[in-house]
Amino acid sequence: MSQKATKTWCLRLLPLLLFVISLVAYYLTYAILESYRGTSTTLNSSKSLCGGWLAQKKWESLNFNISRRTHLFLKLKDFFWREHLSKLALPYGVKGSELLLMKVLAVTSNYQVPANIENLECRTCVVIGNGFAIKNSSLGSIINKYDVVIRLNDAPVRGYEEDVGNKTTMRFFYPESASYNPGLHNEPGTLMVLVPFKLQDLRWLKEILYNEKRVRKGFWKPPPQIWLGDVSKIRVLDPHFLQQTADRLLQIPLYPKSKQPVHPTTGILAVFVALNYCDVVHIAGFGYPTSNSQKQPIHYYGYDTIKSMKNSYHDIKHEAEALRRLEDSGAILYLHPHL
């Protein structure tokens, strides 16, 4: 074939070659854009975030030597239709609190987790701690995309939405940490989950529910005497989770020799509950400042400092180590840099 004929043949093939190149480039670009789009909207699809996550298998790899439990709250029928024996008193059991508990559950236990969450094939959850680390994080819009957002105590939302979001699925609290009006910083459907640490906690809730005279004794800080929460949204956490957090996750002796007991914080408890209930668990706002300054704020709100943690019933350093173990195992993921 002459050089001229070869050149003519190449010119004829050039449009076809350019078309093939354009087609390949189009599909490559489409694939790249889709991968980025998938990353940016990961939390809009539970399945995409869960991708291949086998929750039970992951749970078993943590070596807790207990079964994963997804029924979180106490029910009245547990006490009527089958024996609910407990060897421990509160906070790790209900021994001695049965009558109080039955009165509380008679009002609150007709409701469980909403069906739209309970029926999810895969639950993505985020636990929002109250630590200073989340301040100026701009995580609000990301937090709002999770199926379940768990908050702690009376941590505010209004005015901090850019960092902490405004979606709240559950709020763990106890009387001393209760806000008198939960509606100020919660959505209407937020579940108010009481963590009963002592007999007085259940008595406080019973007095609120039945509008009885309030007893102020037995609290380290006066709880609200008027509570404007929606009764239908109240739940009582099964002490099983607090016991297993203490025993399996933190290895705290159930019968301590010291006079001052050490109990898990509501934060580490919420993480353990999420590991039971959820398929994906992310956290934010955990960790206390490393500064030695006693004036260093410890929350993303308010003015509490390191000094306020003195004489606490919690072992913060021990809990930080437990979170680090969970992170190293891949069981949890932080949403922001941390130490």
Which domain CATH number covers 292? Answer: 3.90.1480.20
Q: Check whether residue 26 and residue 80 sit in a common domain.
A: no
Is residue 291 very low, low, confident or very high in pLDDT (cuts 50, 70, 90)?
A: low
Which pLDDT belongs to residue 34? 40
130 compared with 291, residue with greater pLDDT: 130
Residue 144 has pLDDT above 70, yes or no: yes
Q: Check whether residue 188 and residue 54 sit in a common domain.
A: yes
Which pLDDT belongs to residue 14? 55
How do residues 84-107 score in pLDDT, each as one tens digit? 678 889 999 999 999 999 999 999
Q: Check whether residue 36 and residue 180 sit in a common domain.
A: no
Q: What does residue 5 show for φ and ψ, rounded to 5 degrees?
A: -65, -40
What's the rounded mean pLDDT across residues 25-51?
A: 44
DSSP string, 261-277: -----HHHHHHHHHHHH
User: What's the domain range around 267?
Assistant: 50-334
Is residue 310 very low, low, confident or very high in pLDDT (cuts 50, 70, 90)?
A: low
What's the rounded mean pLDDT across residues 311-339?
A: 88
Residue 48 has pLDDT above 50, yes or no: yes
Residue 27 has pLDDT above 50, yes or no: no
Distance CA 92, CA 263 (A): 10
Which pLDDT belongs to residue 24? 46
Please say whether the beta carbons of 227 and 208 come within 8 A: yes
Number of domains observed in the structure of the chain: 2
| Within-domain flag for 154 | yes
Residue 194 has pLDDT above 90, yes or no: yes
Is residue 315 very low, low, confident or very high in pLDDT (cuts 50, 70, 90)?
A: confident
Q: Check whether residue 61 and residue 32 sit in a common domain.
A: no
Q: What does residue 274 show for φ and ψ, rounded to 5 degrees?
A: -60, -40
How do residues 222-261 score in pLDDT, each as one tens digit? 999 999 999 999 999 999 999 999 999 999 887 766 666 7
Which pLDDT belongs to residue 304? 86
| Within-domain flag for 138 | yes
What's the rounded mean pLDDT across residues 179-190?
A: 95
| Within-domain flag for 117 | yes
Q: What is the mean pLDDT of the chain?
A: 84
Is residue 274 very low, low, confident or very high in pLDDT (cuts 50, 70, 90)?
A: very high
Q: What are the residues whose beta carbons fall under 8 Å from the beta carbon of 34, sequence distance 6 or more?
A: none
Distance CA 187, CA 94 (A): 30
Q: Check whether residue 217 and residue 273 sit in a common domain.
A: yes
Which pLDDT belongs to residue 60? 87
Tally of CB atoms within 10 A around 217 = 6
Q: Check whether residue 54 and residue 35 sit in a common domain.
A: no
Is residue 41 very low, low, confident or very high in pLDDT (cuts 50, 70, 90)?
A: very low
| Within-domain flag for 219 | yes
Which pLDDT belongs to residue 55? 79
Residue 314 has pLDDT above 60, yes or no: yes
Identify the weakest region by mean pLDDT among 191-200, 233-242, 290-299.
290-299
Q: Token digits for 171? A: 């709020």
What's the rounded mean pLDDT across residues 183-198?
A: 96
Which pLDDT belongs to residue 208? 95
Q: Check whether residue 180 and residue 302 sit in a common domain.
A: yes
Q: Check whether residue 139 and residue 164 sit in a common domain.
A: yes
| Within-domain flag for 99 | yes
| Within-domain flag for 45 | no
Q: Check whether residue 236 and residue 178 sit in a common domain.
A: yes
Q: Please name every residue paired with 333 in a beta bridge, in sequence order, or none if there are none.
A: 282
Q: Check whether residue 76 and residue 140 sit in a common domain.
A: yes
Q: Check whether residue 247 and residue 322 sit in a common domain.
A: yes
Q: Check whether residue 164 and residue 239 sit in a common domain.
A: yes
| Within-domain flag for 339 | no
